[in-house]
Amino acid sequence: MSAAARPLILIVDDIGDNRQMYAEYLEYDGYRVEQAGSGAEAVVFAEEVNPALIVMDLSMPDMDGWEAIRRIRSNARTTSIPILVVSGYAFDATQRGQEDARADAFLRKPCLPEDLAAAIAAMLARRERG
């Protein structure tokens, strides 16, 4: 598969070690990966690189994941990008995501890279099926 044909995943987390661990695993699994360290960066990157899927942490400085998701959803260019929230606050994330920010799926931290990759693959497969 050519590099351009591999899905691009945007990983958003303020903890660099988390981003790096997920990025390395996903790249090994065949994805292209971009990284953002804040919600504000995520909003800009989402429009610039148009990822196939965004992995979003919720607790970040300057702009939390909730606000970043709201802004991504309010932009016509990025509104349909699937968003997978990865958070230590899974119950709260599920409640607020469905009611407020419209995230597509949730995983609880700590999250093993293989579980993240499986969730991404499932979400992308659902998107392809329409």
- Contact in structure between 87 and 59 (CB atoms under 8 Å): yes
Between 80 and 110, name the one with better pLDDT: 80
**pLDDT tens, residue by residue, 53-63:** 999 998 888 89
**pLDDT tens, residue by residue, 9-55:** 999 999 999 999 999 999 999 999 999 999 999 999 999 999 999 99
Q: How far apart are CA 28 and CA 56, in angstroms?
A: 20
Domains and CATH numbers, the chain: 3-129 (3.40.50.2300)
**pLDDT tens, residue by residue, 67-101:** 999 999 999 999 999 999 998 775 555 555 555 66
105 three-state secondary structure: strand
Looking at residue 33, the DSSP 8-state letter turns out to be E
How does strand 105-108 pair with strand 8-12?
unpaired
